[in-house]
Amino acid sequence: MSTTPPNVDHTNAESPVTTAHSQPTPLWGTTGQAPRRIPWARLASTGLLTALALFALIGPLIWRQYTSQDLSQFLQPPSLAEPFGHDHLGRSVIARLAHATRLSLGLAIVCVATAATTGVALGLLAAWRRGWVDQMLLGISEIFLALPALLIVLIFAALASGEMWTIYIGIALALWVEYFRVVRARSVSVLTSPAIEAANLLRLGPAHMLRRHLWPELAPVLLTMASLGMATAVLAMSTLSYVGVGLKPPTAELGLLITESLPYYHEAPWMVTAPIVVLLLLLAGLLGLRAQEVRR
Amino acid sequence: MAPLPAPSPPRSPAARTDHDYSLARAVGKVLIRRAAQAVSVTFAVTVTCFVIVQHLPGDIAFRIAAGRYGYDKVDASAAAEVRAELNLDTPAWQQLGGWIADALRLDFGASLVTGASVTDELAHHLSATVHLAAVALLLSVTLGTVIGLLAARSRGGVLDRLTDAWVALVRALPPFVLGLVLIIVFSVQLGWVPAAGHGERGNIVLPALTLAVGLSGLFARVTRDTVAQILESEHVHFARTKGLAGHIVLARHVLRNAGVTLVAYIGVQVLILVEGVVVVESLFAWPGLGHALVHAVFWRDIPSMQATVLALALIVVVVSTLVDLAVLALDPRTREMQ
Amino acid sequence: MTIELLDVRVNHQGRALVDVPRLTLEPGQAVTIVGESGSGKSLLAHALMGSLPRSLQVQGDIRFGADRSCLADVGARRKLWGHRLALLPQEPVLALDPTMRIDQQVAEGHPRFLHGRRGRLDALEQASERLAGLGLHNVHNTYPHTLSGGMAQRVAFAAATIGGAQVLITDEPSKGLDPVARDSLARLLSQHVEHGGALLTITHDLDLARALGGELLVMQQANIVEHGPAEQVLTAPAHPWTQRLLAAEPNQWVPSWRGAGASSADATPLIEARGLSKAYGGLPLFSGLDLEITPGERLALTGPSGSGKTTLGGILLKLVHPDAGEVIHHPDLADGRVQKLYQDPTVAFPARTPIRAGLRDVTRRHRVDPERVNMLMDRLRLDPSLLDRRPGEISGGELQRIAIIRAMLLNPRVIFADEPTSRLDLLTQQETMDCLMNQVSEQDAALVLVTHDIGLAAAVTDRNLSLDNADPVSMAPARVD
On whether any CB of chain A is under 8 Å from the CB of B180, the answer is yes
- Decide: helix, strand or coil at residue C278: strand
DSSP notation for A131-151: HHHHHHHHHHHHHHHTS-HHH
In what side-by-side order are the strands of the sheet with C324-329?
A: C283-293, C271-280, C324-329
Return d(Cα C304, Cα C454) in angstroms, integer: 10
Interface test with A, best of B32, B53, B173, B177 (most A CBs within 10 A): B177
Q: Please indicate whether, in this complex, the C-beta atoms of A208 and C361 are within 8 angstroms of each other.
A: yes
Q: Are C349 and C361 in contact (CB under 8 A)?
A: no
pLDDT in tens, C174-217: 877 778 888 888 998 998 999 889 999 999 888 899 999 889 99
The whole-number pLDDT of residue A86 equals 77
Residue B241 falls within a domain, yes or no?
yes
Interface predicted TM-score of the whole assembly (ipTM), two decimals: 0.81
Provide the phi-psi class of C236: left if phi over 0, else alpha when psi is between -120 and 50, else beta.
beta
What Å distances lie between residue C430 and B106, C20, C243, C426, C433, CA to CA?
A: 73, 28, 14, 6, 5
On whether any CB of chain C is under 8 Å from the CB of A212, the answer is yes
pLDDT in tens, A15-31: 333 333 333 333 333 33
Q: Which of C248, C266, C281 represents a domain boundary (last residue)?
A: C248
The whole-number pLDDT of residue A37 equals 63
Judge if C284 and C191 occupy the same domain.
Answer: no
Q: How distant is the Cα of A62 from the closest Cα of chain B, in angstroms?
A: 29
Q: Which residues in chain B have Cβ-Cβ distances shorter than 8 Å to C327?
A: none
Q: Which structural domain range is residue C169 located in? A: 3-248
CB contacts under 8 A, A 17-36 vs B, are 24
CA atoms within a 13 Å half-sphere pointing along the CA-CB vector of B79? 13
On whether any CB of chain A is under 8 Å from the CB of B275, the answer is yes
Return d(Cα A6, Cα A294) in angstroms, integer: 8
> In C409-450, where does DSSP find H-type helix?
426-443
pLDDT surpassing 90 at residue B268: no
Judge if C256 and C243 occupy the same domain.
Answer: no
Name the helix (H) or strand (E) containing A97: helix A93-129
Return d(Cα C473, Cα C467) in angstroms, integer: 6
Q: Which residues in chain A have Cβ-Cβ distances shorter than 8 Å to C317?
A: 201
Q: Which of C248, C266, C293 represents a domain boundary (last residue)?
A: C248
Return d(Cα C256, Cα B207) in angstroms, integer: 79
Judge if C199 and C331 occupy the same domain.
Answer: no
DSSP notation for C466-479: E--SSSS-EEEES-
Residue B44 falls within a domain, yes or no?
yes
The whole-number pLDDT of residue B106 equals 74
Judge if C199 and C275 occupy the same domain.
Answer: no
pLDDT surpassing 60 at residue B78: yes
Judge if C256 and C222 occupy the same domain.
Answer: no
CA C473 to chain centre: 25
pLDDT in tens, A135-164: 999 999 988 888 888 888 888 887 776 778
Q: Please indicate whether, in this complex, the C-beta atoms of B243 and C83 are within 8 angstroms of each other.
A: yes
Q: Flag the least confident range among A269-278, B161-170, B192-201, C275-284.
A: B192-201
Q: Which structural domain range is residue B199 located in? A: 30-337
Return d(Cα B311, Cα B291) in angstroms, integer: 13
Q: Please indicate whether, in this complex, the C-beta atoms of A2 and B1 are within 8 angstroms of each other.
A: no
Q: For the domain that residue B62 is a member of, what is the CATH number?
A: 1.10.3720.10
Confidence of residue A56 (pLDDT cuts 50, 70, 90): confident
Of A183, B335, A278, nearest to C145 by C-alpha is B335
Return d(Cα C333, Cα A147) in angstroms, integer: 53
For chain A, percent of residues with pLDDT exceeding 70: 80
Judge if C370 and C258 occupy the same domain.
Answer: yes
Interface test with C, best of A18, A210, A212, A293 (most C CBs within 10 A): A212
What Å distances lie between residue B276 and A148, A246, B126, C448, CA to CA?
A: 10, 17, 15, 61
Interface test with C, best of A17, A19, A22, A27 (most C CBs within 10 A): A27
Mean pLDDT of A187-210: 91
Residues with Cβ < 8 Å from C11, sequence gap 6 or more?
A: C17, C56, C57, C58, C59
Judge if C223 and C327 occupy the same domain.
Answer: no
Q: Please indicate whether, in this complex, the C-beta atoms of C319 and B2 are within 8 angstroms of each other.
A: yes
Judge if C167 and C265 occupy the same domain.
Answer: no
The whole-number pLDDT of residue A293 equals 57
The parts of chain C modelled with pLDDT lower than 50 are 470-481
Mean pLDDT of B227-233: 89
DSSP notation for B172-194: TS-HHHHHHHHIIIIIIIS--S-
Judge if C275 and C397 occupy the same domain.
Answer: yes
Higher pLDDT, A177 or B75: A177
In total, how many domains does chain B have? 1
- If you ran DSSP here, which 8-state letter would residue C38 be given? T
Residues with Cβ < 8 Å from B237, sequence gap 6 or more?
A: C51, C89, C95
Interface test with A, best of B43, B167, B171, B310 (most A CBs within 10 A): B171
Q: Please indicate whether, in this complex, the C-beta atoms of C410 and A202 are within 8 angstroms of each other.
A: yes
Confidence of residue B67 (pLDDT cuts 50, 70, 90): low
**Count of all residues that appear for chain A in the document:** 296
Return d(Cα C297, Cα C293) in angstroms, integer: 7
Residue B6 falls within a domain, yes or no?
no
- Cβ count within 10 A of residue B162: 12
The whole-number pLDDT of residue B103 equals 76
CA A234 to chain centre: 7
Q: Which residues in chain B have Cβ-Cβ distances shorter than 8 Å to C94?
A: 233-235
Q: For the domain that residue C126 is a member of, what is the CATH number?
A: 3.40.50.300
Residue type, A94: I
The greatest distance separating any two alpha carbons of chain B, rounded to the nearest whole angstrom, comes to: 86
Q: Which of C230, C248, C266 represents a domain boundary (last residue)?
A: C248
Judge if C371 and C229 occupy the same domain.
Answer: no
Cis amide leading into A250 (omega within 30): yes
Return d(Cα C67, Cα C378) in angstroms, integer: 57
Judge if C318 and C232 occupy the same domain.
Answer: no
pTM for the full model? 0.82
Confidence of residue A114 (pLDDT cuts 50, 70, 90): very high
pLDDT surpassing 60 at residue A77: yes
The whole-number pLDDT of residue B265 equals 87
Residue B148 falls within a domain, yes or no?
yes
Q: Are C41 and C34 in contact (CB under 8 A)?
A: yes
In total, how many domains does chain C have? 2
Q: Shortest CB distance from C99 goes to which of B10, B237, B332? A: B332
Q: Which chains touch C (3 or more CB pairs under 8 A)?
A: A, B
- Cβ count within 10 A of residue A162: 16
On whether any CB of chain B is under 8 Å from the CB of C166, the answer is no
Mean pLDDT of B39-66: 78
Residue B20 falls within a domain, yes or no?
no
The whole-number pLDDT of residue A177 equals 92
